Structure 1
Amino acid sequence: MAWSPRDGSIADVAHIHPPKIEYFDLDAKSNTDPKGHLRSVDEYRLTPTGLYMFRPLAGHPKISHFESWFLPKLNLRVTRQSWHRGHELDFDFYVDVVEITAIGSVWRTIDLYLDLIVRTGQSVTVLDTDELIAAVQQKLISAERAQWALETTYSAVSGISAHGHDVLRWLTYSGCPTTWR
């Protein structure tokens, strides 16, 4: 059940879960998703500002592949998806608020619920605030960590909006230029 303002409480958010953790092993060219599934990665590219990943989604009914930039300076994962014909959605980038750590060749992200949908030149929309608040209520994350996630989110919203709703322009301005396939 999704929360709406008239519900009065978000404690009943049905899809509440602990923060999702993912691993990205540059040497093994693999990605271990939050459910523990090991996925092959076609390309990793390490730069001074972050890590680029390109991988197919074999067997996915709607998405053929995606590419992501993990940007520790901004605490964001910026993803562009490629859709199978007839399944395209009306956004250009999906942005996750994440904690990023790297130990040797293994990068780890902890997804802190909040996401942004960017429609280049048009809008940026924040998603899953209900999940973040429910996670705090269920003590899955601390109030301080949730505040950090909110501050990160609204910094990104402000920056993207100030750059014409263009996430790539904002990333370049922020010192995190990206190149994509």
Structure 2
Amino acid sequence: MVDLHPIKQETFDIQAKTNTDPKGIIRPVDHYNIMQGALYMARSADHPRFHYLESWLIPPLDMRITWFHFRDNIAPTQELYVDVAHIDSSDQQVWTTRDLYVDVVTHRGGRIQVLDLDELGAALAEGYIGVDDANRALRASQRILDGINLHGSLQGWLAQEGYQLAWQSPMSTAKET
């Protein structure tokens, strides 16, 4: 069954060092950095599966890449989580995202998972998303998959695109993602 919902929106206020999540909860951010036209964010989380997250928002590629720091008792194969999203960085101090439903997840061993295409279709049928945004989501998803397949990893493809992702600490399970 599809979890039908309006587009999730998020705000990243660099000056205030806050991140307003899709539920409207304002969360403190430990670190913001703008590099190569992309925004890096790191903050703690009160989620039962992970305690910290680091994200890169890359507007030209319509993607937010997140490394979830899972709790010690959680051992997923997941490495990086990509939200396909429209990112507005026109105000350099306050970036916003509109999640376009589709997600791409990389896993140890090279497995790639595409999630929520059913949500995208249902949201389109229900009028939560327009045809232009749905096409944008599908084009971005295809570009991500093609990039990973052509360059062997997400980070390998992004490096070819001019985005050298850096994380606060070495990625223990996703060094080659």
TM-score normalized by structure 2? Answer: 0.91
CA distance, structure 1, for counterparts of residue 92 and residue 116 of structure 2: 32
Question: What residue is the counterpart of 1:80 in the other structure?
Answer: 67
**1:105 matched to 2:93:** yes
Question: What residue is the counterpart of 1:157 in the other structure?
Answer: 145
33 and 99 in structure 1: CA distance in 2 versus 1, 3 angstrom threshold: same
**CA contact 2:77–2:108 (8 Å) conserved in 1:** no
Structure 2 unaligned spans of 5+: 169-177
Please, which of 103, 109, 124 is the counterpart of residue 112 of structure 2? 124
Partner amino acid, structure 2, of 1:115: D
Instruction: Map 1:13-162 onto structure 2 (within 5 A).
Output: 13=2, 15-58=3-46, 60-102=47-89, 103-162=91-150
Partner amino acid, structure 1, of 2:149: S
* Structure 1 residue ranges (4+ consecutive) displaced by more than 2 angstroms after TM superposition: none
Partner amino acid, structure 1, of 2:156: R
CA distance, structure 2, for counterparts of residue 136 and residue 153 of structure 1: 16
**1:171 matched to 2:171:** no
Supply the RMSD in Å over aligned alpha carbons.
Answer: 1.1
CA distance, structure 2, for counterparts of residue 41 and residue 69 of structure 1: 13
Partner amino acid, structure 2, of 1:146: A
Structure 1 unaligned spans of 5+: 2-12
Question: What residue is the counterpart of 1:5 in the other structure?
Answer: none
**CA contact 1:120–1:167 (8 Å) conserved in 2:** no
Partner amino acid, structure 2, of 1:124: I
Q: How many residues align?
A: 167
**CA contact 1:124–1:161 (8 Å) conserved in 2:** no
CA distance, structure 2, for counterparts of residue 156 and residue 62 of structure 1: 26
Partner amino acid, structure 1, of 2:34: L
Residue 121 of structure 1 deviates from its aligned partner by 4.9
Residue 104 of structure 1 deviates from its aligned partner by 3.7
3-state secondary structure, aligned to 1:73: helix
> % of aligned pairs identical?
40
CA distance, structure 2, for counterparts of residue 104 and residue 175 of structure 1: 20
3-state secondary structure, aligned to 2:101: strand
